[in-house]
Amino acid sequence: MSATQILMMPGRRLAVSMGLGLAMMAGFVFMVLQAPGDALFRSPLELDSSFWTQFITGAGAYLIGALVWSLRPRDLAAMLFAISGLATLMFTFGAGIGNSVIVPLPDWAEILFVLFNAGGASLFGIVMIVLFLVYPVRLPHWRLWTTLVVGGFGIWTLFGLTMMFSGSTLVQTITFTEMIGICIVVALQIKATGGQPRERAIAWWLGLSVLFGAGPFIALVAIPSTFGFGSLMEARYAFIFFLLIYIGLAVGLTRYRLFQLGEWAFQILFYTIGAALLLVLDAVLLLALPLEQGPAFGLAIFIIAVAYLPLRDWIGRQVLRRDASSTEELFRAVVDVAFEPNAEQRAAAWQQLFRRHFLVLECETADISQGEPEIREDGLALALPAMKGLPGLLLRYPWEGRGLFAPRHRETAYQLMRLMLQAEESRVAYDRGMQEERTRIARDMHDNIGSQLLSALHSQSGPRKDVLIRETLTDLRDIINNAGGEEASLDEALADLRAETAERAEAAGLALDWHSDIADDVQMTPQAIHALRSVIRETVSNTIKYAGARRVGVSIMQVNGSISVTLSDDGKGFDPQTIVPGNGLKNIADRIAGLGGTSSIGSSEGGTTIAAQVPVPASTGMKKEIEA
């Protein structure tokens, strides 16, 4: 297998690159552990902590760079990232050998390691500038600028290396200048990605990674040396900050959780500024006021808490929240969607709710049948599954294309969907209640109003006809208002109904056989009394209109905690198996079932019998005991 074929597979690329790196690290450790005298090697525990700082930084940078390159070998940004890891390995190991080796080295070896240290540091800066010229977007004329950066800083670095052995600190000046160049190119990337939220999030993240990784080294080592002062921190300890660069760049280059990078960048920036302000305030208070270190530090913390933290929270809400609607507005909007009159209008209002809240440029229906809201396309899109009567949605380009969807936005969408389900259940219950009310009114109109108007029609007495019409109007108002109130005596209500039924039967030429055995204490709700009255009225009306009977019987008995109602006639009857029940028979069965009772219909050539049983409310017996 050729070398090209080996490098075509990610796992083998990683194995080869890591093998080379581990070989260099092993050689580095071998040189450092060599001991003078009879002992060949010294114990690793004898090594200074600065050695391990440099070793971890160099090894970590190289291995992270090799990992990213092995995954994306043809990507220019990944290649540059891997080269920067090699540069970091050079300047950390170069410095480490010079500080940690205790056996004598040849002059050429010492010169080589010094050149590795200085040249690697400058190479790191050059590669970082070029990386930000091409990633996350390629800046205008990036090829020309790459040539100028590599050529200019390369020549300057070669000149600086020749001056090092005469005591010059020119290399520190070069790295400081490169850091300024990195900041400029990062700013250009942020400006260039203004209309591309994914790339802008990467630019912010990578820029802050380099700033907080290389920045401390430049501020503590390079800048003081550039202006002729001593370093504020030993370079071998300051190297550890470079690991922040490689962790941050690896996250950005692999686009891991890209939709959160922008928020992470701002949060890191805010906390870093807060820490820096705390140190600056502490120093200012110590110098300006006659305070000890403890009180000065406490006062600095108080100022940060009172002034900076509220300002940081306000800026964070303005920059990161971006919610176009308040919680109250969202709640009202969801309820409005649920109570739109039809499915088409609900679907349109549902889309408009998300379009308005997230300010998306695209909101289209999608075939997403199940699951939870899902962030797609690195945060550019948010997919919402379909719900009852509402289509699935795919939202793209939030905040007019200037931002990305984050997990908190997904959670907001999830809560809106849950709220919508609850509102939809309320709407269905409302529609069901409305339909039941319409059915009740229609049933009462058919049973009660119809029978009373029929009685008025057959009445020969003018005054009685007027009384029946007035009673009909009263019942009509009760039907419309579904009159409630306290429980009433069933016996009294049946007495009025008996008189009405007797008059109707007499007008139709029927003999009435009424038998009632109800205790005085039986109390029922107006709705229950109304239902029983309607059943009796409807049955008598059917007998008058259809049965051709000579007699009608009504029996109302109290049996074992229930009311038993039996209505019979001696008419021609019908076959219950073949006849299609009309509204009257259906209403009778529905009313009895609505009271929690049972009903049955029996009919033959000798007549028809309708039997029903309705439970008596438990409060009846209790009332009787109290009165006793």
Which CATH number is 550's domain given?
3.30.565.10
Number of domains in the chain: 4
Q: Is 517 exposed, middle or buried (0-12, 13-18, 19+ CB in 10 A)?
A: exposed
Find the helix or strand (DSSP H, E) in which 534 lies: helix 526-542
Residues 580, 505 within the same domain: yes
Q: Confirm whether 439 is domain-assigned.
A: no
pLDDT at 256 over 50: no
Residues 310, 358 within the same domain: no
Q: What is the CA radius of gyration of the chain?
A: 45
Residues 570, 616 within the same domain: yes
Residues 156, 278 within the same domain: no
Q: Confirm whether 473 is domain-assigned.
A: no
pLDDT at 145 over 90: yes
Assigned token pair, 436: 């039941």
Residues 393, 506 within the same domain: no
What pLDDT is attached to residue 459?
Answer: 67
Q: Which segment, 491-495, 533-537, 567-571, is predicted with the most confidence on average? A: 567-571
Q: Confirm whether 456 is domain-assigned.
A: no
**Mind listing the pLDDT tens digit for each residue in 215-241?**
777 777 777 776 777 776 776 677 777
What pLDDT is attached to residue 283?
Answer: 61
User: CA of 49: how far to CAs of 92, 101, 231, in Å?
Assistant: 14, 14, 19
Residues 96, 198 within the same domain: yes
Top pLDDT among 327 and 539 is at 539
What pLDDT is attached to residue 545?
Answer: 83
Q: Which of 302, 319, 336 is the last residue of a domain?
A: 319
Residues 6+ apart with CB under 8 A from 574: 603, 608
What pLDDT is attached to residue 625?
Answer: 36
- The arithmetic mean of pLDDT across residues 433-437, rounded, is 78
pLDDT at 259 over 50: no
Band of the pLDDT at 569, cuts 50, 70, 90? very high
pLDDT at 275 over 80: no
> What is the C-alpha to C-alpha distance for residues 367 and 382, in angstroms, rounded to an integer?
13
- The arithmetic mean of pLDDT across residues 183-190, rounded, is 89
What pLDDT is attached to residue 611?
Answer: 92
What pLDDT is attached to residue 258?
Answer: 42
Q: What is residue 446's DSSP assignment?
A: I
Tokens 């176009």 belong to residue: 324
What is the domain range of residue 305?
A: 261-319
pLDDT at 281 over 70: no
Residues 6+ apart with CB under 8 A from 266: 204, 316, 319, 320
CB atoms within 10 A of CB 73: 15
CB atoms within 10 A of CB 306: 10
pLDDT at 593 over 80: yes
pLDDT at 624 over 60: no
> What is the C-alpha to C-alpha distance for residues 39 and 322, in angstroms, rounded to an integer?
67
Q: Which segment, 203-207, 416-420, 496-500, 524-528, is predicted with the most confidence on average? A: 416-420
Residues 284, 390 within the same domain: no
- The arithmetic mean of pLDDT across residues 132-139, rounded, is 89
Are the CB atoms for 503 and 559 separated by under 8 Å? no
What pLDDT is attached to residue 436?
Answer: 77
Top pLDDT among 226 and 593 is at 593
Residues 493, 589 within the same domain: yes
Band of the pLDDT at 474, cuts 50, 70, 90? low
Q: Which segment, 90-99, 202-211, 326-335, 495-504, is predicted with the most confidence on average? A: 495-504
> What is the C-alpha to C-alpha distance for residues 70 and 85, in angstroms, rounded to an integer?
13
Residues 133, 155 within the same domain: yes
Question: Rounded mean pLDDT of the chain?
Answer: 76
Top pLDDT among 618 and 505 is at 505
Amino acid present at 357? H
> What is the C-alpha to C-alpha distance for residues 175 and 537, in angstroms, rounded to an integer?
103
Residues 94, 220 within the same domain: yes
Among 254-258, 268-272, 538-542, the minimum mean pLDDT is found in: 254-258
**Mind listing the pLDDT tens digit for each residue in 59-74?**
888 888 887 788 778 8
Residues 237, 270 within the same domain: no
> What is the C-alpha to C-alpha distance for residues 418 and 411, in angstroms, rounded to an integer?
11
Predicted TM-score (pTM) of the model is 0.51
What pLDDT is attached to residue 293?
Answer: 60
CB atoms within 10 A of CB 244: 19
Residues 125, 232 within the same domain: yes
Q: Confirm whether 515 is domain-assigned.
A: yes
> What is the C-alpha to C-alpha distance for residues 247 and 236, in angstroms, rounded to an integer?
19
Find the helix or strand (DSSP H, E) in which 396 lies: strand 392-396
How many residues in total does the chain contain?
628
- Give CA 291 to chain center in angstroms: 50
**Mind listing the pLDDT tens digit for each residue in 499-554?**
878 887 888 889 999 998 888 778 887 778 877 887 888 888 888 888 888 999 99
Among 73-87, 191-205, 378-392, the minimum mean pLDDT is found in: 191-205
Q: Which of 388, 420, 452 is the last residue of a domain?
A: 420
Q: Is 252 exposed, middle or buried (0-12, 13-18, 19+ CB in 10 A)?
A: buried
Top pLDDT among 313 and 344 is at 344
Tokens 């529905």 belong to residue: 590
